[in-house]
């Protein structure tokens, strides 16, 4: 049985409303990322597009895991794993793009920490669990 199916009707409705709100937030982050992305064939200096991109990816993965029946804790773990992979790919691409300058200036300062947005996934899980507890408390 999936986690969503184990909830009361009232709690499930609150979870779905919460998921819609976070889905909209993820879409807004994706739009911001697209606006900040460099034109094709150009290298972005600071990688400003990546931060909203990662936020959107974390939220999207979290929501996707919930839809597949994961608990909030498991969804957070899956989202963090996906986020770590996104950061690894970003950092590797940055190393390739700045290989020449790194020899002159030292390692690139535009690399991201692999656990950069883990707090977002943990926050989403905590807030969702609180929503369910509040819904169950209100329905009794």
Residue ranges covered by each domain of the chain: 4-139
Band (pLDDT 50/70/90 cuts) for residue 124 is very high
For the cut 90, the answer to whether the pLDDT of residue 105 exceeds it is no
Cβ atoms < 10 Å from Cβ of 133: 11
Determine the pLDDT at residue 32: 95
Q: How confident is the model at residue 108 (pLDDT cuts 50, 70, 90)?
A: low
Instruction: Say if residue 106's pLDDT is above 70.
Output: no
Residue 62, C-beta contacts closer than 8 angstroms, at least 6 positions apart: 22, 75, 76, 78, 79, 121, 124, 125
3-class secondary structure, 9: helix
């Amino acid at each position: 049985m999936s986690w969503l199916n184990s909830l009361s009707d009232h709690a499930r409705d609150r979870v779905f409303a919460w998921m819609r709100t976070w889905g909209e937030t993820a879409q807004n982050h994706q739009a911001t990322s697209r606006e900040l992305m460099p034109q094709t064939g150009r290298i972005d200096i600071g990688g400003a597009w990546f931060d909203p991109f990662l936020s959107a990816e974390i939220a999207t993965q979290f929501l996707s895991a919930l839809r597949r029946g994961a608990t909030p804790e498991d969804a957070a773990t899956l989202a963090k794993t996906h986020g770590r992979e996104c950061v690894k790919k970003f950092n590797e691409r940055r190393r390739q793009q700045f290989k020449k300058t790194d020899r002159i200036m030292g390692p690139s300062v535009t690399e991201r920490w692999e656990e950069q947005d883990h707090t977002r996934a943990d926050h989403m899980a905590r807030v969702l669990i609180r929503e369910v507890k509040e819904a169950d408390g209100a329905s009794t």
